[in-house]
Amino acid sequence: MRILGIETSCDETAVAVLEDGHIVRADLIASQVDLHQKYGGVVPEIASRRHIETIGPLVLSALAVADCAAESLDAVAVTTQPGLIGALLVGACFARSFAYALQIPVIPIHHIEGHIAAVFLEHPAIVFPAIALVASGGHTDLYRLDPTGEYHILGRTTDDAAGEAFDKGARLLGLGYPGGPAIDRAAAAGDPKRIRFPRPRTAKEDDFSFSGLKSALARRLALAEEKDALADLAASYQAAIVDVLVEKTVRAAVRERARAILLVGGVAANRLLRRRIGEEGARLGLATYIPAPRYCTDNAVMIAMAASLRQTRGTPLPDTRVSI
């Protein structure tokens, strides 16, 4: 079974060829970071236009890298939601036409389902029930994954996503875009206890809230009597985000009697978060699964993997059937 995966929901054009749910024959990502950097964030119109230029050649390159003919593909999996609508449309329209020409099915994939699927690539034998924390630039969601193959949303952010908190914090600190990796790096040399940023509370215990944290950083930068070291600011800010993510995920895992914790999405590439979740899991006797950093941030292998899992685990997210 060979699946072509296509992901164009934000600022990365990504194409992959996945065989039998575990052999990555091609995994290409054309990043647009340079294009959006000077604006300090993704400009939707510019993203769509670049996807249009990139998608065709990238699919041909992926087939060349995979060393397989288009006719040998069995299906095309494409992200159809959520994301920037113009950007999604480029991938979805391409996927539809390409699949039509080959007379093979198109499998519409929910981006979050893709992020969760990334774990199964390296860990096919996950024990259930499991708690999945999906932390990315647009989402911070907690799911319970049941042995039956169903996913239940337990909570989500009520304002900014965790990745957004990293990106906005980095912008305030003058560290540029994307902010997560920049704060991760800057924090390595800092003292995470130097500044006590708030750990925001929410009405529902499984929800998240990060917008107050960004405001606290802005206030600190404006009002601090003596200038804080950049590394200490980055480390303390990162610690506040990671503390909340770890605490809520672990609490949900214990309450739901989960046997495993999954950590996915771009923020799962964060080194402190990876270490802390691993430590907490070990303390509680829970297995922890985190994709390799390359499969945490947006990619197309995870989209093809989600399609592949549909064959074995059914359709996990009820709202994935919306197609463009």
Which residues share a beta bridge with 12?
Answer: 31
Q: Which is nearer to ligand KG4, 10 or 88 (CB)?
A: 10
Query: Out of ligand KG4, Zn ion, none, which partner does residue 80 contact, by CB within 5 to 8 A per kind?
Result: none
- Minimum separation from the CB atom of position 82 to ligand KG4 (A): 9
Counting contacts by CB under 5 A, is residue 298 touching Zn ion? Answer: yes
Counting contacts by CB under 5 A, is residue 164 touching Zn ion? Answer: no
Tell me the C-alpha distance between 294 and 310, whole Å: 22
Cβ neighbours for 172, distance < 8 A, ≥ 6 positions apart: 214, 217, 218, 221
Binding residues for ligand KG4 (CB under 6 A): 10, 136-138, 163, 166-167, 178-181, 184, 265-267, 269-270, 297-298
Tell me the C-alpha distance between 248 and 281, whole Å: 13
E-state strands within the chain: 2-7, 12-19, 23-31, 75-81, 106-110, 130-135, 140-145, 151-156, 260-264, 287-289
Cβ neighbours for 286, distance < 8 A, ≥ 6 positions apart: 253, 258, 259, 260, 261
Query: Between 122 and 161, how does the x/- string for binding to Zn ion read (CB under 5 A)?
Result: --------------x-------------------------
Query: Out of Zn ion, ligand KG4, none, which partner does residue 184 contact, by CB within 5 to 8 A per kind?
Result: ligand KG4
Q: Which is nearer to Zn ion, 54 or 297 (CB)?
A: 297
Q: Which is nearer to ligand KG4, 137 or 281 (CB)?
A: 137
Question: Residue 229 in contact with residue 209, Cβ under 8 Å?
Answer: no
CA distances from 203 to 123, 206, 209 (A): 34, 9, 10
Q: Which is nearer to Zn ion, 6 or 233 (CB)?
A: 6
- Minimum separation from the CB atom of position 8 to Zn ion (A): 12
Query: Out of ligand KG4, Zn ion, none, which partner does residue 133 contact, by CB within 5 to 8 A per kind?
Result: none
Tokens of 281: 């899991």
**Contacting residues toward Zn ion, per CB under 5 A:** 136, 298
